Structure 1
Amino acid sequence: MKLATLNNGTRDGSLIVVNRNLQWAALVPHIATTLQGVLDEWDSKAPRLEETYRSLNKGEIKGFSLPPARLAAPFPRAYQWLDGSAYLSHVERVRKARGAEMPQSFWTDPLMYQGGSDYFLGPRESIRVMDEAFGVDFEAEVVVITDDVPLGITPAHASSHIKLLTLVNDISLRHLIPAELAKGFGFVQGKPASALAPVVVTPDELGEAWDGAKVHLPLRTYWNGKLFGEPEAGEDMQFDFPQLISHAAKTRSLSAGTLIGSGTVSNVDWRRGYSCIAECRVMEIIARGSAATPFMSYGDRVRIEMEDRHGRSIFGAIEQEVSR
């Protein structure tokens, strides 16, 4: 099934069920009012939402036309946002940009940071920055959402805790990050609010593209209307989602509604393009000695979307403009 959140003027919005082709929706206050409420009681609420979803797809219930401009992030705020960096071609290239080698341990121990989850941007909400000189960059990723995950879970048992998937634009301010990392204490200013795709979907919506651990589809990013990259999300992912969940739960349990990101989708084969500007700049430096591609400027637009093998949008598109 597909679920989304309608912006109703409140912090958490209203839960809606969305049909498969992303054209019609239905409010379900008799089942749950928010997506977090569904995750809190997944076993009892998900089957009832599935019934509504089936009826909506068959035209048995009267929905309303889905208004993309009125959609908030599926989770306007979440209990936890943990972002991995599972594509090591991305890690290696970005570290090269700042003259850092990639330690051997990165191949066996996942990278992960805890980002701000008190506010997620809606899929069409502007990327607002005080100064474009901060180095505004998009980062296209796949995200899984879990139910309650017990402490110490193994990768073999983690897959069953993945209840939903979506996409994220994990925005980075590249010129602020080096100074923050030099302090040895992680990101804050270099990582503003991230944006989520319009809808979240249950794993079965992906069909054969979901193997229980990875999504085997290209993730497309467009910058100012031009295709910037379409790397395959299922390739070159050193750590799959069950491994990332297990890593996060090594010393603590995870609450229902925890979002875990794949990190910027990246392939060893750079000819498929990139999911962030930083990678492109690194490859330019390697090839020509200097970067030619600038970071985003005011008025620039980014679109992030994943389609199934029939060309149908799965999660809807993240469409954002950089604004002052």
Structure 2
Amino acid sequence: MKLASLKEGRDGRLVVVSRDLQQACHAEGIAPTLQAALDHWDECERALRALYQRLNRGECNMAFAFAPGSCAAPLPRAYQWADGSAYVSHIELVRKARGADMPPAFWTDPLMYQGMSDGFLGPCDDIALANESWGIDFEGEVAVITGDVPMGITAEQAHPHIRLLMLVNDVSLRNLIPAELAKGFGFFQSKPATACSPVAVTPDELGTYWHHGRVHHRLRVLLNHQLFGEPEAGVDMTFGFDQLIAHASLSRRLGAGTIIGSGTVSNRDEHSGACCIAERRTRELLNTGAASTPFMRFGDRVRMEMFDEQGQSIFGAIDQQLVPYRGPAT
């Protein structure tokens, strides 16, 4: 099943989207928003799936053309956004470039931070930021949306609580990060709004490409229409989403609509490219002694998309342009 939220009010308007992403139908009478559906998943899921099946068979009389540009994030605002760093080889690479040792615990205990959840960007919304000198970077990730998760759940118990999957662009301001982390209190200014794919899908849509809490498809990232990277999301993911959920719920319950990110998708094989500029710059530094790829500049466009074995887009594309922020003075 594929679900999206059209731009309407603060929480969007829930629609069911066809498997080929061509048609959509309002979820009238089932749930007004995705959050409402998640809050009452046991009651809503069967009706949403029935509508999805009718839509795919061409039997939805109220179907209309699906337009990603009309979409908000599947959850325009969420109760919680916790982003992990499940690709530990990515962390190892970055630390190696600056001569820092890798703590052994990083391989057994996930890193995670709590990010901005009160306003996600839609898939085609501009990235509006005030200053290029902040070191603006994209990060292509996979994320899950959970139902209610009890405190203290194990990884083995986590799978039934995963409701949906989607892609995210977790924007980072690289030149602001060092000073923030040096304070010992985590990210804040260096992590602005995150964008989400047009569509969130139930795990069964991925078939055998979803197993062990990992998505086994390549995430294609384009920068200014040129291929930047296409790593396989399941290959070097040290911690599956089941483990990330268990980590997040150790000392707290997770409410329905919690979003948990994978961290930047990354492969050890450098021929797969990268899903963020920082990783490419790190490889350049290690290989040549200098980082040559610049961070994003105003006018740059980034596109992220994942395809199935038939070449069909699974989640639709995140397609964003970096523009100057014209709001209040910073």
Normalising by the residue count of structure 2, what TM-score does the alignment of the two structures yield? 0.96
- Deviations 1:194-243, CA, capped at 9 Å, x for gaps: 00000000001001101151101111100000111011101111111100
- Deviations 1:267-315, CA, capped at 9 Å, x for gaps: 1111110010000001111111110000000000000000001100000
Mapped to 2, the partners of 1:52 and 1:282 lie a distance apart of 47
Tell me the amino acid that sits aligned with residue 140 of structure 1. G
Tell me the amino acid that sits aligned with residue 156 of structure 1. E
Assess, with a 3 A threshold, how the Cα gap between structure 1 residues 98 and 117 changes in structure 2: closer, same or farther.
farther
Shift of 1:98: 4.6
Question: Tell me, what secondary structure is at the counterpart of 2:125?
Answer: coil
Tell me the amino acid that sits aligned with residue 30 of structure 1. G
Question: Tell me, what secondary structure is at the counterpart of 1:21?
Answer: coil
Of stretches 41-50 and 209-218 in structure 1, the one that deviates more from structure 2 is 209-218
Question: Tell me, what secondary structure is at the counterpart of 2:211?
Answer: coil
Mapped to 2, the partners of 1:85 and 1:173 lie a distance apart of 16
- Deviations 1:169-203, CA, capped at 9 Å, x for gaps: 00000000011000000000100000000000000
Of stretches 93-102 and 66-75 in structure 1, the one that deviates more from structure 2 is 93-102
Aligned twin of 1:58: 57
- Deviations 1:15-67, CA, capped at 9 Å, x for gaps: 00000000110111210000000110101101000000000000111200112
Shift of 1:107: 0.7
Tell me the amino acid that sits aligned with residue 55 of structure 2. L
Aligned twin of 1:45: 44
Mapped to 2, the partners of 1:223 and 1:67 lie a distance apart of 22
Alignment of 1:262-273 (within 5 A): 262-273=262-273
Aligned twin of 2:13: 14
Question: Tell me, what secondary structure is at the counterpart of 1:233?
Answer: coil
Aligned twin of 2:209: 209
Aligned twin of 2:328: none
Residue 258 of structure 2 corresponds to residue 258 of structure 1: yes
Aligned twin of 2:306: 306
Checking the alignment, whether the CA contact within 8 Å between 1:141 and 1:264 is kept in structure 2 is yes
Mapped to 1, the partners of 2:167 and 2:91 lie a distance apart of 19
Aligned twin of 1:32: 31
Aligned twin of 1:157: 157
Shift of 1:100: 3.1
Checking the alignment, whether the CA contact within 8 Å between 1:159 and 1:212 is kept in structure 2 is no
Alignment of 1:117-136 (within 5 A): 117-136=117-136
Alignment of 1:1-324 (within 5 A): 1-8=1-8, 10-62=9-61, 63-324=63-324
Shift of 1:95: 2.8
Checking the alignment, whether the CA contact within 8 Å between 1:137 and 1:296 is kept in structure 2 is yes
Tell me which stretches of 4 or more aligned residues in structure 1 moved more than 6 Å: none
Mapped to 2, the partners of 1:67 and 1:261 lie a distance apart of 25
Checking the alignment, whether the CA contact within 8 Å between 2:212 and 2:240 is kept in structure 1 is no
Mapped to 1, the partners of 2:72 and 2:258 lie a distance apart of 18
Question: Tell me, what secondary structure is at the counterpart of 2:167?
Answer: strand
Normalising by the residue count of structure 1, what TM-score does the alignment of the two structures yield? 0.98
Question: Tell me, what secondary structure is at the counterpart of 2:142?
Answer: strand
Mapped to 1, the partners of 2:216 and 2:108 lie a distance apart of 22
Tell me the amino acid that sits aligned with residue 90 of structure 1. H
Tell me the amino acid that sits aligned with residue 29 of structure 2. H
Shift of 1:99: 4.4
Question: Tell me, what secondary structure is at the counterpart of 2:166?
Answer: strand
Structure 1, unaligned runs of 5 or more: none
Tell me the amino acid that sits aligned with residue 15 of structure 1. L
Mapped to 2, the partners of 1:276 and 1:299 lie a distance apart of 17
Checking the alignment, whether the CA contact within 8 Å between 1:145 and 1:258 is kept in structure 2 is yes
Mapped to 2, the partners of 1:193 and 1:251 lie a distance apart of 26
Question: Tell me, what secondary structure is at the counterpart of 1:56?
Answer: helix
Shift of 1:103: 0.9
Tell me the amino acid that sits aligned with residue 132 of structure 2. E
